[in-house]
């Protein structure tokens, strides 16, 4: 009897891409999000992580060093301010704001920016979960002018 070798099942997709930033935003109250949503499981010498958020969006992994989050524990904050305080680069803010307006996500409770990542809902099949909505993947130039002056 011939036993076929089963390929190792790899869950999720690798969206790694230089000079891109993928942005998710939420209007769900931050205190209403369970802690487990953010709890990271690390692999590959602690350079790769997964959590409920990444699993929900079919990301194979993310590099925690490439992730920035920002928001408000109470109420909402303007997404331009939330993103600007995370990345400091103005290179993608205009197109981000255009997408945020279209999706009515100009005021958010929190935001996730994943740098060196070009997430695609067409590939993953997911554009939102119970807490986050994907806004888009944008060209990112870390040499662009800062959106906010460093104090």
What is the full DSSP assignment across 71-140?
E-SSS-EEHHHHHHHHH-B-TTHHHHHHHHHHTT-SEESEEEEEEEE---HHHHS-SB-SS-EEEEEEE-
How far does Cα 93 stand from its chain's mean position? 15
Measuring CA to CA, how many Å separate 42 from each of 53, 67, 110?
14, 14, 23
Question: For position 8, what pLDDT does the model report?
Answer: 53
Which residue(s) pair with 73 in the sheet?
none
Number of DSSP helices (H) and strands (E) in the chain, helices first: 4, 8
81 Cβ partners below 8 Å, 6+ apart?
Answer: none
For residue 6, pLDDT over 60 is answered with no
Q: pLDDT tens across 74-119, in order? A: 999 999 999 988 876 678 989 999 999 999 999 999 999 999 999 9
At residue 58 the predicted structure's pLDDT band, cuts being 50, 70 and 90, is very high
- Alpha carbon distance 10, 3 (integer Å): 21
- 143 pLDDT tier (thresholds 50, 70, 90): confident
Return the structure tokens found at 49.
């992580």
């Amino acid at each position: 009897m011939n036993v076929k070798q089963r390929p190792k099942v790899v869950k999720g997709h690798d969206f790694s891409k230089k000079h891109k930033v993928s942005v998710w935003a939420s209007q769900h109250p931050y205190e209403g999000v369970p802690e487990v949503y953010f709890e990271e499981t690390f692999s590959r010498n602690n350079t790769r992580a997964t959590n409920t958020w990444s699993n929900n969006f079919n990301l194979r992994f993310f590099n925690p060093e490439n992730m920035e989050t920002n928001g408000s524990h109470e109420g909402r904050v303007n997404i331009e301010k939330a993103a600007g305080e995370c990345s400091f680069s103005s290179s993608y803010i205009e197109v981000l704001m255009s997408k945020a307006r279209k999706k009515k996500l100009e005021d958010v409770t929190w935001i996730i920016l994943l740098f060196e990542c070009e997430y695609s809902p067409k590939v993953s099949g997911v554009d939102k979960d119970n807490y986050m909505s994907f806004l888009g993947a944008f060209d990112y130039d870390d040499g662009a002018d800062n959106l906010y002056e460093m104090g």
